[in-house]
Amino acid sequence: MTGSRLYAALALSALGVVACGGGGGGGGGTASKPDKVQIAAEGPFTGDQASIAAGALQAIKLAVKDFNAKGGVHGTQVQLLTWDDQHNAQTAGTLQAQGISDPTVLGLIGPMNSGVVLGTAPGLQGASPPLPFISESASNVKVTDSGWAVAHRVNARDDAQGPADAKFMIDQGAKKIYLLDAKSDYSTALADAVQGYLKDKAPTIQTKRDSAQQGQKDFSTIVTNIKSFGPDWVFFADEGPEAGPLVTQLKQAGLTIGQNIQFLGTDGEEDASLIQKSQGAYVGAYATNIVPDPAGISTASSFVSAFKQEYGQDAIGKAGPFYGSAYEATQILLQAIAKSPVNSGKISRSDVLSQLASGTFDTIFGAVKFNSKGDVASGGIYVYKAGTDSMVVQKQISG
Amino acid sequence: MDYFLQNFPQQLINGLETGSLYALVALGYTLVYGILQMLNFAHGDVYMVGAFLATGVAVLFVHGSVAALPAAVVVVLMVLAAMGGSGLLGIAIERVAYRPLRDSNRLAPLITAIGVSLLLESVVQVRISPGTVLVPTNALVPQVVAHIGSVATPVIALVLMALAVLLMVGLDLFVFRTRFGAAMRATAQDREAASFMGIDVNRVIVVTFLLGSALAGFGGVLEGLRFSTVDFFMGYLIGIKAFTAAVIGGIGNVRGAMVGGFLLGVLESLGGGFVSTAFQDTFAFMALILVLLLRPQGLFGERPVERA
């Protein structure tokens, strides 16, 4: 006992010497250097959503690298853990357990999917101390409406996206809308929101609602349903790659996007790889997204060029919709960690959490502050249109 | 009623096209079960590997620098690669994962089957692609739509369905009209007695795996050509569906698997078209429960004989 206490005292005094010797790296002169700082990035980095999530992971890596280049947390380099949850809450829970038990894991960027958040947030909240997370893409209202203090997100919510999607179709003159969901927490809630808004605000518009499967490729039954309903718009709330085979088979059935049918997709469909995967059938389709595209925002221009420099000139086109919000979320988490007090070489997750609740953070999209639920005020909805090789941002809309 | 009559033929064709795929894969389950009384849960992944082999050939000849070949030749090469590769893979799996356990606890090969399934998925995921891979179908098959009355369907889907049926008829003839088929049926009835009669049981088992896996490989090509994408997880759901089809038809019965496959496809498309797409997959499993309740041995199955 005595030995270990002596050792601890020695270690502490040694740290004090190092901190003094390092001299005034942190603010206020009282900050000592944390021994170890880790954050985790979680998302479906492999599997059917890999093409969407991979860009987010690249952005998180870049954000950590940029932050470390400026000195990290009072001189300590931040280490990034990568948790590939494969869009599966069980896998996510297993991965998060290692972070929960390690007090130097101070926060989590992600999970990216609403369903994964809803499945794992109770565990993160129940950890001691709770493990805060900032999602860059989970939009189900329950993510921040469930009262979990650990829950934060930088993207807009379904209850903003649903009305905005519905309004967009109304403004485009839609008369008959076929609504399709993909049976996930995200897509069902979103399709419900669109359907509810249409019923309320545009009761003359006829709708029909169907469900697809995640991973579905054979859409012949659904295409037949669409043809016999005869809509002028198809709305597909989806977070995966299912839109590719759907629009391909629509075209085979004689429904060409932009000619005799209009198509509106959501987050997962703001994915330029769909144009190639559908062999061009996707050209002309619209998709809305819950995060801004850095390429269209002046304050983010240096980030965009840094991203291209790091990952290649064509990296932006392949990065999917969430690379900007992922960078933003990482900036916020790292700033919250840097603002937290260091006690004997340790930063507590509870302090990071209270910094997230109270602080204002400087990001590539401007100053960001969370409200009491963990949402940001500025989250807008953006419309993209599929060109011949990329998704082109059209405008920002809101419900 | 108008709605029903107008859409019924189309949904029927949709269902038959889907069902042909289920039937092809179901045959592999049923052949192996018939002979070894084991469920080869890696079968769906053999299908996936076949699809990837075919895609590899397609990408090599369409995008690669290898000599330009006519599209038809490339498709034939794809089929050969997929059926050959899947067939050999099936044999290898049997040799490595099942044969050493043939006389052990009945659960043991079931567990290794699941292990092989996860192994194949992981290897393809890590080594080839964690996402979807595009099959350059535009360059390979004509993108023409056939109109028959009120029914419209891609010509390729019809051609592939016809080929699947042809293969199934071929298999049926092989099993019921050839000497080797008789040996297979004898082995299925009683492995020990068959070996006493001079039948090389190991050879029968190897050929069974070869046939079932090659059919699955062909199914993989079919899916790749129709839907233009393949991914490492594509074998999972079709594996479960095909297994369901095999059980509905009477597991171990070759004709039952074919009928079960088509039946399942049609049930799903009619259920999705006229009841609810949200429950489309549910119809398959409801049918399974009904069959198991009313006719546990399956539509074409025989009552199981307890073996000592």
**Residue of chain B nearest A246, judged by CA positions:** B227
Question: What average pLDDT does the segment B12-40 reach?
Answer: 93
pLDDT tens digit string along B145-162? 888 888 888 888 898 899
CA distance B79 to B95: 24
* DSSP 8-state class, residue B303: P
Mean pLDDT of chain B: 90
Question: Residue B134 and residue A277: Cβ atoms within 8 Å?
Answer: yes
Mutate to test the interface with B, among A46, A219, A220 (most CBs of B within 10 A): A220
Lowest mean pLDDT among A204-208, B83-87, B225-229: B225-229
Residue A248 has pLDDT above 80, yes or no: yes
CA distance A355 to A340: 7
Q: How many CB atoms are located within 10 Å of the residue A94 CB?
A: 13
Lowest mean pLDDT among A31-35, A63-67, A356-360, B133-137: A31-35
Residue B183 has pLDDT above 60, yes or no: yes
Contact A60, A327 (CB under 8 A): yes
Lowest mean pLDDT among A181-190, A299-308, B81-90, B176-185: A181-190
| CB-side neighbour CA atoms (13 Å) of A18 | 15
The pLDDT of residue A272 is 80
Q: A221: which chain B residues are within 8 Å (Cβ-Cβ)?
A: 11, 14-15, 268-269, 272-273, 277, 280
The pLDDT of residue B66 is 67
CA distance A219 to A244: 10
Which tokens belong to A119? 């499945």
Tell whether B44 is covered by a domain. yes
User: How far is residue B139 from each of residues A167, A277, A315, B75, measured CA to CA in Å?
Assistant: 40, 14, 27, 10
Residue B70 has pLDDT above 90, yes or no: no
Name beta bridge partners: A362: A367
Query: How many domains does chain B fold into?
Result: 1
Tell whether B145 is covered by a domain. yes
Residue A126 has pLDDT above 80, yes or no: yes
Q: Provide the whole-model pTM.
A: 0.78
Residues contacting A259, CB < 8 A, separation 6+? none
ipTM over 0.85: no
Residue B47 has pLDDT above 60, yes or no: yes
Tell whether B140 is covered by a domain. yes
The pLDDT of residue A240 is 72
Contact A181, A212 (CB under 8 A): yes
Question: What average pLDDT does the segment B56-62 reach?
Answer: 90
The pLDDT of residue B305 is 52
Give the distance, in angstroms, between the CA of residue B60 and the centroid of all CA atoms in the same chain: 25
- Residue B256's closest CA among B24, B18, B30, B47? B30
Which H or E run includes B230?
A: strand B229-230
Tell whether B185 is covered by a domain. yes
Pairing of strands B133-134, B229-230: antiparallel
**Residue of chain A nearest B238, judged by CA positions:** A216
Q: Where are the beta strands (DSSP E) in chain A?
A: 37-43, 78-84, 105-109, 133-135, 151-153, 176-181, 206-211, 233-237, 262-265, 286-289, 360-363, 366-369, 381-386, 391-397
Tell whether B272 is covered by a domain. no
Q: What domain range is B177 assigned to?
A: 20-235
Least CB-CB distance to A245: which of B145, B229, B280?
A: B229
Pairing of strands B145-148, B151-154: antiparallel
Residue A211 has pLDDT above 80, yes or no: yes
Q: Chain A to chain B, count of Cβ pairs less than 8 Å apart?
A: 98
Question: What average pLDDT does the segment B52-73 reach?
Answer: 85
The pLDDT of residue A396 is 72
> Distance, in angstroms, between A13 CA and closest chain B CA?
47
> Distance, in angstroms, between B99 CA and closest chain A CA?
32
Tell whether B161 is covered by a domain. yes
Tell whether B264 is covered by a domain. no
Q: How many CB atoms are located within 10 Å of the residue A147 CB?
A: 11
* DSSP 8-state class, residue B299: S
- Assign A226 a pLDDT band (cuts: 50, 70, 90): very high
CA distance A99 to A372: 25
Q: B8: which chain A residues are within 8 Å (Cβ-Cβ)?
A: none
Which tokens belong to A20? 């003094």
Question: What average pLDDT does the segment A23-36 reach?
Answer: 59
Phi, psi of A88, rounded to the nearest 5 degrees: -140, 120
Most confident of A172-176, A294-298, B250-254: A172-176
- Assign B20 a pLDDT band (cuts: 50, 70, 90): very high
Taking CB atoms within 8 Å and a gap of at least 24, the contacts of B95-102 are: B95/B206, B97/B42, B98/B36, B98/B38, B98/B40, B99/B202, B99/B205, B102/B36
Question: What average pLDDT does the segment A106-125 reach?
Answer: 95
Mean pLDDT of chain A: 87
The percent of chain A in helix, strand and coil, each rounded to the nearest 5, is: 45, 20, 35
CA distance B264 to B284: 6
Phi, psi of A108, rounded to the nearest 5 degrees: -135, 130
Residue B41 has pLDDT above 60, yes or no: yes
CA distance B123 to B46: 12
Place of tokens 């993510």: A143
Q: Does A213 touch chain B (CB under 8 A)?
A: yes
Q: How open is the CA angle A360-A362-A364, to the nearest 5 degrees? A: 140
The pLDDT of residue B308 is 42
Name beta bridge partners: A108: A40, A133
Question: Residue B130 and residue A228: Cβ atoms within 8 Å?
Answer: no
Residue A160 has pLDDT above 70, yes or no: yes
Tell whether B254 is covered by a domain. no
DSSP A189-246: HHHHHHHHHHHHH-TTSEEEEEEPPTT----HHHHHHHHHH--SEEEEE-SSSTHHHH
Residues contacting B17, CB < 8 A, separation 6+? A218, A220, B153, B157, B158, B160, B161, B265
Q: Does A250 touch chain B (CB under 8 A)?
A: no
Q: How many CB atoms are located within 10 Å of the residue A8 CB?
A: 11
Phi, psi of A179, rounded to the nearest 5 degrees: -105, 130
pLDDT tens digit string along A350-393? 999 999 999 999 999 889 999 999 999 766 788 989 998 878 87
- Residue A231's closest CA among A200, A265, A261, A197? A261
